[in-house]
Amino acid sequence: MMDKISTEKSVFAFFKLLTWGVVSVVAVLLLFIFSKGLPVLTLDFLTSPPENGMLGGGISIAILGTLMVMGLTIVFAIPLGIGSAIFLAEYTDKVDPRIIRMVRLAINNLAGVPSIVYGLLGLGLFVLFLNLRFSVLSASLTLSFLTLPVIIAASEESLRNVPGAYREASLALGATRWETVRNVVLPSALPGIMTACILGLSRASGETAPLLMTGAAYYLPRFSGNIFRQFMALSTHIFFMSTQSPNPDITRPIQYGTIVVLLIIVLTMNMTAILVRSYYRRKHR
Amino acid sequence: MIRDTRYRVPVNPFEEYEFENTEEKIEFDDFHLWYGDNHVLKDIDLEIRENMITAFMGPSGCGKSSLLRAINRMNDLIPECRYKGEIEIDDVDINDPETDVYELRKKVGMVFQKPNPFPMSIYDNVAYGPRIHSMGQRSALDDIVERSLSEAALWDEVYDRLDDSAMSLSGGQQQRLCIARALAVEPEIILLDEPCSALDPIATMKIEGLMRRLEEKYTVILVTHNLQQAARVSDMTAFMYLGEIIEFDRTRNIFENPREELTENYITGKFG
């Protein structure tokens, strides 16, 4: 029979093993990708369009396309998401709680809906019904819908974590509810909201399926800069290069290079989220 | 220990005393309040006078905080709360639908149980109310901040670090900052909801001293379940039990010569 101390030790060792197992898988993966991809990253690769019938050249058009789609997604998703979160967290006491509970349930479930379903929604609603066609606009609206549940849920959480005592103090001074939200609640919740937005958007920036269905092109000779036109994106470029290319072996360096660029964008956003959080945490304590 | 009040006499309904240069400020008339089905305040009739400290005292759950919060209508924030009856401030019914609740709360300042400064600078905390009510630009705001902090006996401790976070202050300083913040919008009535219950004895002493200075200019209402505090600082005391005012009288009478048995039992520590 094992005594308590050795049980404790073996349980601890087991969890430690699990943790390091996960970490090392990720580390190996990143190491592999970066070792293959970093050598490809030259200024030329980042700034030139595809050449030789997509067998050579760079990924400038895909980089610009991803940045443009994400930029437009930010414009749609952040105001809508924060606005909804403010309503749900601050203004619902006069609404039937059952309705609010249903809205919240819907939002939490929407966060778990597979992205391909959002792609279908975008195809049906934006591309066909609203006749926005395959375009940056359709794709951005679709990605906004995809990130909204995440942004709303996390922002609401962050607003709810603001102590009720702040609201009381502000209202007792004769402030209206909006003045209270704007001057006290939002500033306190801002680090959490910003973190939520950045993480939501960084997840969206790697999405592939919704873009395929709403406007990503296999090849464009130049970057149009027009939100009503099709675009190339990093995530779809990786997909096309590895599955649709006439010769996937020749394009392998391009695939690794594109993955590295996408990863750098995503990791930078996540790092920014962490820095924002720790900056505000230090500032407020 | 018990303070000799300037006012020889308590207010209605104890008319055997004469009133000396005090004016009526707040009057409750047949006021009732419910949280859902819970009848929290029953038939409250009470007159509160200017420039004195009135204490609401009683065991937990007696309704003293709810009564205090009725005066600036903070109970409105609780969805299941209903009330009926009149509360008049300067002869105007504050429960009238026409009442501007934001103006009311500007006129009736409040300080809470736990110090709750905003996570901003000391200056911004005090300037918060005046900015909301557009009471002046920079230099005027500077004056308001200095006046309010001085009135709250905090100016000398913070004048050289107004831009520091309010969170860097001690608990007692934070509570005085909250008092300064309430004073900054030039209220006429100050509601204090157990303002010392989260503070140590030294900080409590400072706040109590401050209350006595505030009564010269403001109508001060203090909720406390601390008997000694009510005895030390208040002029009038209302003893409440299960949502009713059992006895309302000059503080000295309440403590030395209560007329109700319930009051006496509470004062002498038989319950509470």
pLDDT in tens, A182-191: 999 999 999 8
Domains of chain B in start order, with CATH, are 24-267 (3.40.50.300)
Average pLDDT over residues A185-210: 90
Please report the pLDDT score of residue B2 as a whole number.
45
pLDDT digit string (tens) for A42-65?
888 888 888 877 778 888 889 999
Please report the pLDDT score of residue A284 as a whole number.
61
Paired strand residues for B54: B221, B236
Average pLDDT, chain B: 87
Smallest Cβ distance to B185: which of A163, A174, A188? A174
Residues A166, B118: C-beta atoms closer than 8 Å: yes
pLDDT digit string (tens) for B58-93?
988 889 999 999 999 999 888 889 999 999 999 899
Q: DSSP character for B18?
A: P
H and E: helices and strands count for chain B: 10, 10
- Whole-number Å distance between alpha carbons of A259 and B73: 59
Helix (H), strand (E), coil (C) string for chain A: CCCHHHHHHHHHHHHHHHHHHHHHHHHHHHHHHHHHHHHHCCHHHHHCCEECCCCEECCHHHHHHHHHHHHHHHHHHHHHHHHHHHHHHHCHHHCCHHHHHHHHHHHHHHCCCCHHHHHHHHHHHHHHHCCCCCCHHHHHHHHHHHHHHHHHHHHHHHHHCCCHHHHHHHHHCCCCHHHHHHHHHHHHHHHHHHHHHHHHHHHHHCCCHHHHHHCECCCCCCCCCCCCCCECCHHHHHHHHHHCCCCCCCCHHHHHHHHHHHHHHHHHHHHHHHHHHHHHHHHHC
Q: Are A202 and A264 in contact (CB under 8 A)?
A: no
- In this prediction, residue A1 has a pLDDT band, given cuts at 50, 70 and 90, of low
Which residue in A64, A85, A32 sits closest to A265, CA to CA? A64
Displacement of CA B265 from its chain's centroid (Å): 25
Instruction: Indicate whether A134 pLDDT > 90.
Output: yes
Instruction: Indicate whether B7 pLDDT > 50.
Output: no
Q: Which of B106, B128, B135 to mutate to test the interface with A (most CBs of A within 10 A)?
A: B128
| A180 near B CB under 8 A | no
> What ipTM was assigned to the predicted interfaces of this complex?
0.87
- In this prediction, residue B184 has a pLDDT band, given cuts at 50, 70 and 90, of very high
Residues B102, A175: C-beta atoms closer than 8 Å: yes
Rounded (10°) angle between helices A60-90 and A136-160 = 40
* B contacts of A284 (beta carbons < 8 Å): 119, 165, 167
Please report the pLDDT score of residue B8 as a whole number.
36
Task: Tell the residue number behind the tokens 């695939």, with chain if given.
Answer: A255
- In this prediction, residue B272 has a pLDDT band, given cuts at 50, 70 and 90, of low
Please report the pLDDT score of residue B143 as a whole number.
92
Beta pairing, strands B38-49 & B92-93: unpaired
- For Cα atoms A262, A267, A273, give the angle at the middle one, nearest 5 degrees: 135
Dihedral in degrees, nearest 10, Cα atoms B222, B226, B230, B231? -170
* A contacts of B178 (beta carbons < 8 Å): 169
pLDDT digit string (tens) for B191-223?
999 999 888 888 899 899 999 999 889 999 999
Nearby residues of A198 by Cβ (< 8 Å), 6 or more positions away: A269, A270, A272, A273, A276
Please report the pLDDT score of residue B191 as a whole number.
95
Average pLDDT over residues A151-166: 93
- Whole-number Å distance between alpha carbons of B51 and B185: 18
- Whole-number Å distance between alpha carbons of A251 and A232: 16
CA distance B210 to chain A (A): 20
Average pLDDT over residues B28-56: 91
Q: Are A62 and A237 in contact (CB under 8 A)?
A: yes
Instruction: Indicate whether A130 pLDDT > 60.
Output: yes
pLDDT digit string (tens) for B126-168?
999 999 998 878 888 999 999 999 989 899 999 999 999 999 9
Please report the pLDDT score of residue B1 as a whole number.
37
CA distance B187 to chain A (A): 9
Which residue in B45, B71, B14 sits closest to B219, CA to CA? B71
Domains of chain A in start order, with CATH, are 60-236 (1.10.3720.10)
Percent of chain B topping pLDDT 70: 92
What is the model's pTM? 0.82
Please report the pLDDT score of residue B225 as a whole number.
82
Average pLDDT, chain A: 90
* A contacts of B72 (beta carbons < 8 Å): 172
Percent of chain A topping pLDDT 90: 57
Token reading at A193: 């909201």
Residues B132, A285: C-beta atoms closer than 8 Å: no
Please report the pLDDT score of residue B253 as a whole number.
87
Instruction: Indicate whether B105 pLDDT > 70.
Output: yes
- In this prediction, residue A93 has a pLDDT band, given cuts at 50, 70 and 90, of confident
Instruction: Indicate whether B19 pLDDT > 80.
Output: no
- Whole-number Å distance between alpha carbons of B195 and B190: 11
Please report the pLDDT score of residue B9 as a whole number.
39
Residues B118, A168: C-beta atoms closer than 8 Å: no
Radius of gyration of chain B (CA): 18
Question: Alpha carbon of A233 to those of A13, A211, A214: distances in Å?
Answer: 44, 8, 12
Average pLDDT over residues A157-186: 93
